[in-house]
């Protein structure tokens, strides 16, 4: 999708009909270019209706991300954030990590309509399409050093759960250690935190969140594990600007408390959301081996507790993956 395609998408976002001729005139291109731009939207899973004599319209109106809308939903808190929205970016985390070197402070936010190279943990891919998800990264600086952050992705998960509840995603939504939000066993959102700093501090965290809002079914099916979006769970696609504002304001609270008290302040709440508690699970280790046991929640640092035949073991997030036992 190029810049013209995003301009065409903006013109149609309200769900009203526009003729190809009028669009071509406003965009200063030929009707064939408009057709190509709209075809690119179709390919990306954004459904377009074409009606002879009336023109084009989106099958569903689309609220595009807009900084003014996010700031207005944030109210007075808007001054705590510096928000930049991209139509298209490789990865919001990568972009913000690069900006760290320029000395930007807490509250820097990069959001994107479309991440073309979204990342999960350990180089895994995060899939999204234009307008289908909320993908953004937030920079936060801390006085503490690296060892302090073991539970940060869990605390961020708590922030996401609180906001999802306000947007109607309540039932059967929960957290899977260390960084996934699930709804009825299907992945709804992912969290990727990247750190930079000294062992003794200070340090900076780039907190990336990808939240499926209304994903085309064929994209959800392509993901190599069960995945779902908010529209399927609640019956409605959320207003992504309000969702982003709600997440930023909740993250502000959570990160401020985390900086003071660490993960211990969130442990009880996290355990309420824990979808694997008391379930038989296996942990996949980096060398390919696995450890089987029963998940017993997390300790005050966010380490996963597993009861095994050899006793209770602790696992720190990073190089291990948690799965339900087959």
Contact of 56 with 31, CB cutoff 8 Å? no
67 is an active site residue: no
Per CB under 6 A, which region of 118-126, 243-251, 253-261, 285-293 contacts ligand ATP?
118-126
Give, as ranges, the residues between 196 and 215 that touch ligand ATP (CB under 6 A).
210, 212
User: Does the footprint of ligand ATP cover residue 224 (CB under 6 A)?
Assistant: yes
Dig out the tokens for 84 from the structure.
């930049």
52 is an active site residue: no
Helix (H) or strand (E) holding 271, with range, is helix 267-273
User: How far apart are CB 276 and ligand ATP at their closest, in Å?
Assistant: 11
User: Does the footprint of ligand ATP cover residue 190 (CB under 6 A)?
Assistant: yes
Contact of 276 with 176, CB cutoff 8 Å? yes
With respect to ligand ATP, which residue has the nearer C-beta, 55 or 118? Answer: 118
Distance (Å, whole) CA 212 – CA 127:
9
User: Does the footprint of ligand ATP cover residue 173 (CB under 6 A)?
Assistant: no
Instruction: Identify the active-site residue in 119, 141, 187, 240.
Output: 187
119 is an active site residue: no
Phi, psi of 123 (to 5 degrees): 75, 5
Dig out the tokens for 24 from the structure.
């071509």
With respect to ligand ATP, which residue has the nearer C-beta, 23 or 233? Answer: 233
User: In the sheet that 133-142 helps form, which strands lie side by side, from edge to edge?
Assistant: 82-89, 108-115, 133-142, 203-212, 186-197, 180-183, 173-176
Contact of 298 with 317, CB cutoff 8 Å? no
User: Does the footprint of ligand ATP cover residue 121 (CB under 6 A)?
Assistant: yes
Contact of 11 with 56, CB cutoff 8 Å? no
Check the CA dihedral 79-72-85-196 and report its sign: positive
Question: Which residue minimizes CB distance to ligand ATP?
Answer: 120
User: Does the footprint of ligand ATP cover residue 18 (CB under 6 A)?
Assistant: no
Instruction: Identify the active-site residue in 18, 119, 121, 176.
Output: 121
User: Does the footprint of ligand ATP cover residue 281 (CB under 6 A)?
Assistant: no
Give, as ranges, the residues between 257 and 276 that touch ligand ATP (CB under 6 A).
none
Residue whose tokens read 């509840």:
165
Number of Cβ within 10 Å of residue 120's Cβ equals 16
Per CB under 6 A, which region of 9-17, 179-187, 273-281, 300-308 contacts ligand ATP?
179-187
User: Does the footprint of ligand ATP cover residue 179 (CB under 6 A)?
Assistant: yes
Coil, helix or strand at residue 16:
coil
User: Does the footprint of ligand ATP cover residue 315 (CB under 6 A)?
Assistant: no
Q: Give the catalytic positions in this structure.
A: 121, 187, 323
Write out the residues near ligand ATP by the rule CB under 6 A.
120-121, 124-128, 179-180, 187, 190, 210, 212, 223-225, 227, 321-322
């Amino acid at each position: 999708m190029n810049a013209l395609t995003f301009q065409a998408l903006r013109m149609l976002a309200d769900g009203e009909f526009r003729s190809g001729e009028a669009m071509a005139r406003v965009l200063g291109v030929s009707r064939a270019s408009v057709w190509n731009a709209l075809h690119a939207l179709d390919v990306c899973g954004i459904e377009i209706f074409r009606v002879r004599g009336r023109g084009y319209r989106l099958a569903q109106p689309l609220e595009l991300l807009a900084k003014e809308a996010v700031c207005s939903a944030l109210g007075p808190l808007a001054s705590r954030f510096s928000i930049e929205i991209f139509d298209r970016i490789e990865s919001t985390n990568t972009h913000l990590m690069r900006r760290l070197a320029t000395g930007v402070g807490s509250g820097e936010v990069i959001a994107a309509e479309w991440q073309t190279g979204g990342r999960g943990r350990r180089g895994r891919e995060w899939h999204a399409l234009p307008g289908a998800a909320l993908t953004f990264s937030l920079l936060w600086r801390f006085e503490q050093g690296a060892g302090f952050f073991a539970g940060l992705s869990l605390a961020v998960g708590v922030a996401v759960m609180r906001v999802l509840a306000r947007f109607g995603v309540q039932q059967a939504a929960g957290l899977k250690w260390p960084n996934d939000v699930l709804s009825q066993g299907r992945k709804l959102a992912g969290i990727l935190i990247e750190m930079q700093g000294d062992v003794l501090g200070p340090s900076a965290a780039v907190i990336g969140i990808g939240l499926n809002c209304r994903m085309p079914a064929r994209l959800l099916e392509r993901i190599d594990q069960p995945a779902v979006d908010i529209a399927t769970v609640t019956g409605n696609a959320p207003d992504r600007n309000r969702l982003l504002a709600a997440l930023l304001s909740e993250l502000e609270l959570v990160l401020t408390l985390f900086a003071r008290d660490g993960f211990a302040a969130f442990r009880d709440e996290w355990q309420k959301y824990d979808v694997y508690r008391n379930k038989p699970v296996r942990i996949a280790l980096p060398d390919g081996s696995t450890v089987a046991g029963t998940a017993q929640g997390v300790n005050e640092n966010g380490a996963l507790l597993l009861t095994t035949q050899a006793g209770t073991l602790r696992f720190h997030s990073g190089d291990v993956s948690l799965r339900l036992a087959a």
